[in-house]
Amino acid sequence: MENLELDDSWGDSLGAVDTGGVFTSAAAEAGPLGCIVGLLLDLVVSIFLSVIIAFLIWLGMNIVITGITILFLPLYFLFRHSLRVAVARGRTCRGDFGKSLYYACGITAMNMVWLYLIIFAGHQIARWVIKA
């Protein structure tokens, strides 16, 4: 079996990697004490930025979850009410297609009216807030 020779020139294409922070590099000219102070400042700034990023992610997730809840809450009540009415009217409409169609159209119209009123009210409130 022949030995494969590896080309060592791949390391030249990588370039230099900066492992020091902004404060560490800036304080390196001040000597070892400056490097230590710069490193500590880098750590403090990194922790502070991590806390800010974590807070922004937490705030964003709360806004998204609240928005989803506000959007789907009316739909939940609509479908829950519709299912309750369908089960309650099921015995009276059994075998009578006209009666079941009448109840289905009436209940659908009633549910859609208040759902559209909620959407319309939300639109009007949004226009009012933007105008103010």
Q: What DSSP line would sit under 12-39, residue for residue?
A: GGT-----S-HHHHHHGGG-HHHHHHHH
Q: Is residue 12 part of a domain?
A: no
**Which amino acid, 80?**
R
Residue 46 included in any domain? yes
2 within some domain:
no
- Domain assignment present for residue 6? The answer is no
Q: Is residue 116 part of a domain?
A: yes
102 is in which domain, residue-wise? 20-131
Over residues 1-46, the pLDDT tens digits come to: 566 665 556 555 555 445 556 766 667 677 777 778 878 888 888 8
What is the total count of domains within the chain?
A: 1
Tell me: the pLDDT tens digits for 57-105? Answer: 999 999 999 989 988 887 788 778 777 877 787 777 778 888 888 888 8
- Decide if 43 is inside a domain: yes
* pLDDT score for 37: 80
Q: Give the list of residues 6+ apart from residue 38 with CB closer than 8 angstroms, or none.
A: 20, 21, 23, 24, 25, 26, 27, 28
- The residue type of 109 is A
